[in-house]
Structure formats: structure tokens, C-alpha cells
Amino acid sequence: MPRRQSIHGHWSSRLAFVLAASGSAVGLGNIWRFPYITGEQGGGAFVLVYLLCVALVGLPVMMAEVLLGRRGRRNPIESMRMLSEEESGSGKWRLVGVLGVITGLLILSYYAVIASWTLAYVVEAARGAFTGADAATSRQLFEALEKDPLRMLAWFTLFLATAGWIVARGVAAGLERAVKLFMPLLLVLLLALVGYSLTTGDAGAAFAFLFDFGSHAIDGQMLLVAMGQAFFALSVGMGALMAYAAYLPQQTSIGGTAVTVAAANTVVSLLAGLIVFPLVFAHGLEAGQGPALVFHTLPIAFGQIPGGGFVGALFFLLLVFAALMSTLALLEPAVVWLVEQHDLRRGVAAFAVCGFVWLLGLATVASFGDVALLRLPHGGWYDMIEHATSNVLLPLGGLLIALFAGWVMCKNSTVEELDMGVGLRYDLWRMLLRFVAPLVLGFVLVCALGLCDAR
């Protein structure tokens, strides 16, 4: 089959794609969500299930998603329509793309709110609010932000406007260079913080909590949450990687790239766990307290170290940057779809999509900020959208991608696109994609919809 070309050009190299894909993958999902979900799930056994989910389901589905994106070379909806017509004679699998666009926007409606907390903390750190912080003051600091919905709204608007501006100007490619500098810097800071936490916090308790894999029984609910977290952290299941892979050079190895991105991503999550939990146990914080966990913990660390105000501000700034790169990936499917299929200018498309996300996000702000007028139960809206996106929509997208690439697409097409021969590695990938992924994801979805007694 003659190769299609992307109408927007290509990444300059394999490294450029690895950087963009890791930039999209590493974000709040690793540093904010992984520790709090692990805390809620009781550690050990959950961490093991998580690692298995990444290796046995997340990675093969990630490869499939990249494969589909590069073969289609258009926005996810159009790519899926074309591939579906080629492989099955009907375009109905375009729904995978539609689902991805919707999922991305729903995720963003709360992701940008959490990113706005991070942004607020840059300023808090810089003005010295962390100095000498203990568990109580750091809790007060966070509650003050939560109780001030207008302040949250202002940061939320600023964050989304910045992302929209970057997308509109089409300067995302320029950010590639920034990723090269910022991601290693973030890694260095994370390592330094791990060192600090392990030496001053309760390292023994943290290790036991995270790595005592037999800590408690594994059940369906835990598998569901681990799967959702794996997809969320890897940016798999909603077409973001598909959209990015449309610009991937033909000769780049998909398998090698996916392994690099997944491994780097998982390391960052584990480092975040090693920062948060020694402090949690040393300062009597509650591991399962939910989304505020990182915001209750990190100020304590920055409050104790010399120059903590500066280091803290830098850390939260890097986190904002990581969240921004993920945000661009969450926006990409919707924006390229509007540009390619509806002939909108990039700027108009970016404005429309961000405006829509902003409106949706108001509900998240209100549900955290206790806006009396709306009387949403605290965190209720967030819990609902969060559950629907991570535990239902991402696994559903992943399931459909696995079914399409594993069962609908003919074997030759995947062999050709993956370009790694038909040896053991290919067979393993195909077996995981055709059998393991659909079975696990099918089970998880049944549990998510409350149709099985998961406990």
C-alpha cells in the first residue's frame, strides 16, 4: 500500500517524537494522581497490579495506538475512518476517534483545575508560604485555596488560556526544545526530593507501604483503578498518541519508542511515590486522603530544606510545564479534527475547544470551591467525571483500539507498520493485544459499570 503523508509535516526525528510523547505522558498523572490513588488503594498490592497493567495491557495498547496513528496520518477520527474502511469495508470504527475527542475534553475539564492548583503553589512557594510548614499549616494553605473559588477560577483561566495560546500559535513544536531541558531538570529535582524524603522521612514505612506486594488481597475494584491509572498516566486510550503518531517518521521503531516512553513514565510515578510516602508517614498524614495528598505533603518538604521557597517554586513551575505538555496532547485530537475536517483556522479551533473546556471546568471549580450558589456536593462532580473518564472511557477506548488492531486489521498490515519482523516479540505483542488486553479490559469495564461484585 502506498504510504500516506501527514498534511502537517513530520517530527524531525525519533527523539523529537519520544520527547513529545513523554512530554504528553509525564504529568500530573504521575506526580499528583499516582501517589493519591496508591494511597487510597492501600499501597503494595495495588502497585504490583499497576505495574502489571502497564506492562501487559498499557504497553501493547500504546503500540497499537501509535501504529494506527502513523498508518492513518490524519486526526484520530479521520484516521480511524480510513483504516476502518480499508480493513473492514465500513467506516464505523471512526467512533473510536469520536470517543477519544470527547474523553480528552472531559479529562481536561478537571486536569486544568488541578494544574491551576499547581500554578497557585508556584506563587505560594515564592512568597515563602511554605517556610517551616508542618502538617497543619500545609493543610490550611490548601484549604485556603479550596475555599477561594475565585482565586482558583483565575488560575484555571490563566492555565487554559496559556494552553490555548500555544495551540493557536502552533508553537508546540518549539516546546519540544523546552522538553529537552525541562524534563531532565524535573527528573533531577525529583531525585533530589526522593533523597530528602528518604533521609528525613519514614523510609522504612514508605518502602513497606509501596513494595510489600502481598499487603492485601487483589480484587476487581483494584484492577479497575490500576488499569484506569495506567491508561491515564501513559496517555493511552483517547487518541492523543494517535494524533501525535500521525507525524511520526516512517522508519521509527514503534516498539522501541513505546517501551522507552512507558518505562520513563513509570519511573517518574514511582519516584513521586518515594517522595510523598516517607513524608506522609513521618508527619502523621493520612495516606488515603484523596486528591489533595501531594499538596498537603510537598510544602512540608520545601518548608524544611534551605532555599525551599526557591526550590519549591521551581518544582511547581516544572510541574506546571509538564501539565501544559499533557494539556496540549489532550487538546490535539479535537483541534486537528476541527482544522482538518471543518477547515477552521488553528487559532479559531483552539479558542473554541478551550472555551468549551473552560465552561465544563467551571463545574469542577465549583465542586471543589464549595460555591454556595451551585450547592454541588464537595468533590462530587469531580469524582463523577474522574471515574467516568479514567475508569470507563479510557479503558473503553483502549479495548476498541485493541480489538481493531488485533482482530479487524489484517495481520500483514500490522507486521508492515510495526516493522519488527514476525519473531517472538511480534507474537507476544499480538497475543497480549488479541487476548489479554480485551479480557482484562472487558472485565474492568463490567466492574466499572457496577455489573459485577468487584469486592
Binding site for ligand PHE (CB under 6 A): 24-25, 27-30, 107, 232-233, 235, 238, 240, 326, 329-330
* Least separation in angstroms between CB 319 and ligand PHE: 10
Q: What is the Cα–Cα distance from 62 to 347, expressed in whole angstroms?
A: 29
* Least separation in angstroms between CB 207 and ligand PHE: 24
Of residues 155 and 281, the one with the C-beta less far from ligand PHE: 155
Alpha helices (runs of H) in 253-393, residue ranges in sequence order: 254-282, 293-304, 308-342, 346-368, 380-386
Of residues 252 and 266, the one with the C-beta less far from ligand PHE: 266
Of residues 119 and 238, the one with the C-beta less far from ligand PHE: 238
**Contact between residue 47 and residue 206 where contact means Cβ atoms under 8 Å apart:** no
* Least separation in angstroms between CB 420 and ligand PHE: 25
Q: What is the Cα–Cα distance from 323 to 389, expressed in whole angstroms?
A: 17
Of residues 243 and 366, the one with the C-beta less far from ligand PHE: 243
Residue 91 phi, psi dihedral angles, 5° rounding:
-95, 15
* Least separation in angstroms between CB 2 and ligand PHE: 31
Question: Which amino acid, 248?
Answer: L
* Least separation in angstroms between CB 115 and ligand PHE: 9
* Least separation in angstroms between CB 306 and ligand PHE: 30
Of residues 233 and 418, the one with the C-beta less far from ligand PHE: 233
CA dihedral defined by 99, 102, 106, 108, rounded to 10 degrees?
Answer: 110
* Least separation in angstroms between CB 231 and ligand PHE: 8
Q: Sign of the CA dihedral 132, 133, 136, 141?
A: positive
DSSP letter at 421?
T
* Least separation in angstroms between CB 325 and ligand PHE: 9
Q: Sign of the CA dihedral 167, 105, 150, 115?
A: negative
Cα–Cα–Cα angle for 318, 264, 201, rounded to 5 degrees? 65
Cα–Cα–Cα angle for 84, 87, 88, rounded to 5 degrees? 75
3-state secondary structure 12-43: CCHHHHHHHHHHHHCCHHHHHHHHHHHHHHCC
Of residues 149 and 395, the one with the C-beta less far from ligand PHE: 395
Of residues 27 and 39, the one with the C-beta less far from ligand PHE: 27
Supply 210's cell numbers: 509501596
Using Cβ positions, the residue closest to ligand PHE within the complex turns out to be 29
**Contact between residue 342 and residue 238 where contact means Cβ atoms under 8 Å apart:** no
> Which of 417, 450, 423 has the alpha carbon at shortest distance from 4?
417
* Least separation in angstroms between CB 229 and ligand PHE: 9
Question: Which amino acid, 424?
Answer: L
Supply 354's cell numbers: 478551550
Of residues 135 and 226, the one with the C-beta less far from ligand PHE: 226
Of residues 231 and 381, the one with the C-beta less far from ligand PHE: 231
Of residues 41 and 326, the one with the C-beta less far from ligand PHE: 326
3-state helix, strand and coil shares in percent for the chain, rounded to the nearest 5? 80, 0, 20
Of residues 28 and 447, the one with the C-beta less far from ligand PHE: 28
* Least separation in angstroms between CB 389 and ligand PHE: 9
**Contact between residue 257 and residue 418 where contact means Cβ atoms under 8 Å apart:** no
Which residues in 278-302 are b (16+ Cβ under 10 Å) and which e? bbbbbbebebeeebbbbbbbbbbbb
Q: What is the Cα–Cα distance from 350 to 161, expressed in whole angstroms?
A: 10
* Least separation in angstroms between CB 367 and ligand PHE: 20
SS3 for 248?
Answer: coil
